[in-house]
Amino acid sequence: MSLPFDVAAVRADFSILETEIDGRPLVYLDSGATSQKPRAVLDAEREFLERANSAVHRGAHTLAAEATELFEDARVTVAEYVGAEPEQLVWTSGATAGLNLVAGSLGYAGRLRAGDEIVVTEAEHHANLIPWQELAARTGARLRHIPVLDDGMLDLHAAADLIGERTKVVAFPHVSNVLGIVNPVAKLVTLARGVGALTVLDACQSAPHLRLDLPASGVDLAVFSGHKVYGPYGIGALWGRDEVLESLPPFTTGGSMITTVTLDTAEYLPPPQRFEPGTQPVSQAVALAAAVRWLGAHDLDAAHAHEAALEKRMREGLRSIDGIRLLGDADAAERVALQAFEVQGVHAHDVGQFLDSRGVAVRVGHHCAQPLHRRFGMTASVRASAAIHTTEDEIDTFLDAVSGVRGFFGAGA
Amino acid sequence: MSGLESLYQELILDHAKNRRGFGLAAPGARSATVHQRNPICGDEITLRVELSDDGERVASVTWEGAGCSISQSSASMLVALLQEDGGDEGMAKADVEALIAQFREALRSRGKVPLDEETFADAAALSGVSKFTARVKCAMLAWVALEEGLRQA
């Protein structure tokens, strides 16, 4: 049963939103970096630790059984959130770990050789770029990229030319963490499938804002981070198709992922346990399940409509301020409420400091996407990213603050 | 003075716009060129220091770079300070090293150790930065580059 969408009620679940910055109410527009966590998530983690904490998948005592059950129930809940089966969901410490797992495992498996190609995009977060650089360097494969057009959209003509018979992997973001644009997953999947390449989706910026059905999306593997979906730090997930996960050897190895071990050899459990060596982030998994349950208790269609209205207000507001250059300003694109921009004549760091003095928290810098910033001829930008709890008034406070920046710094005077 | 105004004093905004020592001088017999960057925000500076023939004095400091107003004004103020206090023959290398150490100590003091105007001239306006720990690196960028340059020259 879902609740009618009421942003005031949503906000009441986040104590941190009552914070004041120098006497002004906090306007948190940095959810793209990390989301705030509702009370239900904090309660779930504490309750687990106070009542059920124990080592999972071992031990015959009551608590061990209870902890294992909660841990595996969490897997079911989080898998459901992305439309998947629990056996397809591997716990990781976050998206970065998930992507390193995939790239590393493909390397171990000898699935790439000199002459093969890995295709990424120019809009990649470093986490979905550097593991592929490393894999290319170690295997002799060539790393290529799909260019980003001036309006922030991927150049699909170039993609069609780039993705060919040498392509073994196509990795791309569902939503760029700088541009906020939802990339055409189905089109890229079609191109990749046409040449038998594996597709890897970075779903970090879509998981908190869009309904995901990973199996239906056509991709082979996908990752996201818990801390951006209103969940705790230190937990994330890798999703993969059964046959794809089955085909991958373990990347990190150790306890809990084996069946039989001798001094010379080991046999491994099937996925997902094959990829989960050592002690798992159990309380974090339980809390992440609480996060997606909390999210799912709302009318998500209404919540998404709310976020879409915020996106429009933010982008149109920024456009109407003099001296603002938006990164990724394609009208045609489907987007999430995340917008990076430059204030001409004022460095991003200074903009962020000025906004902070108005209580507005934004991200400044390259947002772990240096190649994309270089493509737009800058080293740093300002990024505002909203969440389910953001209000229209907060967007207005943000816009009002942005419109004061150039005057304060004497830019364009 | 509000927090923001204590950070961005007029003097800072002025130096950020009219940058002293901006534009690298041609390299000389006793010069060193250093590149420093702040990986967090991508700010960068290339600084060239030229020593006197005997290597005892700092003859000139020039720089190029891009960054926030704090990093830009700090580099400009550093050059202005060396020019004013060093006069024609330049400040003694040992004194410059001591200045850098003192500047670092003040900026890392979280507002406890102010920069006095007598010693630091315009750069004393950067005292306010020490309360904004995220910005200390911005203000230190040029000074760290000069420190490294003195080691190499």
Q: Which pLDDT tens digits describe chain A residue by residue (413 residues)?
A: 556 689 999 999 999 999 999 999 999 999 999 999 999 999 999 999 999 999 999 878 999 999 999 999 999 999 999 999 999 999 999 999 999 999 999 999 999 999 999 999 999 999 999 999 999 999 999 999 999 999 999 999 999 999 999 999 999 999 999 999 999 999 999 999 999 999 999 999 999 999 999 999 999 999 999 999 999 999 999 999 999 999 999 999 999 999 999 999 999 999 999 999 999 999 999 999 999 999 999 999 999 999 999 999 999 999 999 999 999 988 878 999 999 999 999 999 999 999 999 999 999 999 999 999 999 999 899 999 999 999 999 999 999 999 999 999 988 75
pLDDT at A412: 73
Q: Which residues of A touch B40 (CB under 8 A)?
A: 365
H/E stretch holding B55: none
- Given a contact cutoff of 8 angstroms between Cβ atoms, the answer to whether A270 and A250 are in contact is no
Of residues A199 and B9, more confidence is placed in A199
Residue A365 to residue B2, Cβ atoms within 8 A:
no
Q: Is residue B11 over pLDDT 60?
A: yes
Q: Which residues of B touch A371 (CB under 8 A)?
A: none
**CA gap A274, A244 in Å, rounded:** 13
Among A22, A350, A373, beta carbon nearest to B68 = A350
Residue B7 to residue A353, Cβ atoms within 8 A:
yes
Strands A221-225 and A236-240: antiparallel
CATH topology of domain A7-30+299-405: Aspartate Aminotransferase, domain 1 (3.90.1150)
3-state DSSP call for residue A352? helix
pLDDT at A350: 95
Q: Which residues of B touch A346 (CB under 8 A)?
A: 69
Q: What one-character DSSP code corresponds to residue A84?
A: -
Residues comprising chain B, all counted: 153
**CA gap A319, A399 in Å, rounded:** 10
Cα(first)–Cα(last) distance of chain A, in Å? 55
Under an 8 Å CB criterion, which residues of A touch B? Answer: 22, 346-350, 353-354, 357, 364-366, 370, 373, 379-380, 408-410
- List the 55-114 stretch of B: residues with Cβ below 8 A of A: 66-70
For B29-53, the pLDDT digits (tens) are: 999 999 999 877 778 999 999 999 9
Both tokens of residue A273? 């346990």
* Domain encompassing residue B139: 3-152
**Nearest alpha-carbon partner for B67 in A323, A406, A370, A378:** A378
Please confirm, yes or no, whether A368 is among the known catalytic residues: yes
Does the A43-295 domain belong in CATH 3.30.565.10?
Answer: no
Q: Which residues of B touch A365 (CB under 8 A)?
A: 40-42
- Given a contact cutoff of 8 angstroms between Cβ atoms, the answer to whether A326 and A318 are in contact is yes
- Given a contact cutoff of 8 angstroms between Cβ atoms, the answer to whether A340 and A381 are in contact is yes
Side chain identity at A358, as an amino acid letter? Answer: R
pLDDT grade, residue B124 (50/70/90)? very high
Residue B86 CA neighbour count, 13 Å, CB half: 24
pLDDT at B4: 87
Q: What one-character DSSP code corresponds to residue B116?
A: P
Both tokens of residue B120? 């630091």
Query: Domain residue spans in chain A?
Result: 7-30+299-405, 43-295
Q: Which residues of A touch B132 (CB under 8 A)?
A: 353
For B79-107, the pLDDT digits (tens) are: 999 999 988 889 999 999 999 999 999 99
**Nearest alpha-carbon partner for A349 in B105, B34, B139:** B139
Among B42, B70, B138, beta carbon nearest to A366 = B42
**Nearest alpha-carbon partner for A79 in A272, A301, A279:** A272
- Where residue B114 sits, what CATH number does that domain have? 3.90.1010.10
- Given a contact cutoff of 8 angstroms between Cβ atoms, the answer to whether A311 and A335 are in contact is yes
Which residues partner with A326 through β-bridges? A341
pLDDT at A3: 60
Beta-sheet strand order (sheet of A338-343): A324-327, A338-343, A381-385, A363-365
| Residue B94 φ/ψ, nearest 5 degrees | -60, -40
Count Cβ neighbours within 10 Å for each residue of A71-85 and write b for 16 or more, e otherwise: beebbebbbbbbebe
Number of other CB atoms surrounding residue B8 within 10 Å: 24
The angle at the Cα of A162, spanning A159 to A168, to the nearest 5 degrees, equals 110
Q: Which residue has the tokens 């080293």?
A: A379
Residue from A76, A153, A368, A411 carrying the catalytic annotation = A368
pLDDT at A59: 79
Both tokens of residue A286? 């339980």
Both tokens of residue B89? 């023959």
Find the radius of gyration of the CA atoms of chain A: 22
**CA gap B113, B96 in Å, rounded:** 19
pLDDT at A373: 95
pLDDT grade, residue B75 (50/70/90)? very high
Strands A221-225 and A198-202: parallel
Among B17, B41, B69, beta carbon nearest to A365 = B41
* ipTM of predicted complex: 0.88
**Is the previous residue joined to A272 through a cis bond, with omega within 30 degrees of 0?**
yes
- Judge residue B92's burial from the number of C-beta atoms within 10 Å of its C-beta, 0-12 exposed, 13-18 middle, 19 or more buried: middle
Q: Is B128 on the interface with A (CB under 8 A)?
A: no
For residue A354, give the chain B residue with the closest CA.
B4
pLDDT at B69: 93
For residue B138, give the chain A residue with the closest CA.
A349
- Given a contact cutoff of 8 angstroms between Cβ atoms, the answer to whether A184 and A152 are in contact is no
Strands A360-361 and A198-202: unpaired
Q: Best residue in B68, B131, B132, B136 to probe A by mutation, most A CBs within 10 Å?
A: B68
**Nearest alpha-carbon partner for A95 in A130, A128, A132, A129:** A128
For A304-358, the pLDDT digits (tens) are: 999 999 999 999 999 999 999 999 988 878 999 999 999 999 999 999 999 999 9
- The structure's pTM equals 0.93
**Nearest alpha-carbon partner for A105 in A19, A200, A25:** A200
- Judge residue A137's burial from the number of C-beta atoms within 10 Å of its C-beta, 0-12 exposed, 13-18 middle, 19 or more buried: exposed
- The alpha carbon dihedral of B21, B22, B28, B33 has a sign of positive
| Residue A136 φ/ψ, nearest 5 degrees | -60, -45
pLDDT at B1: 53
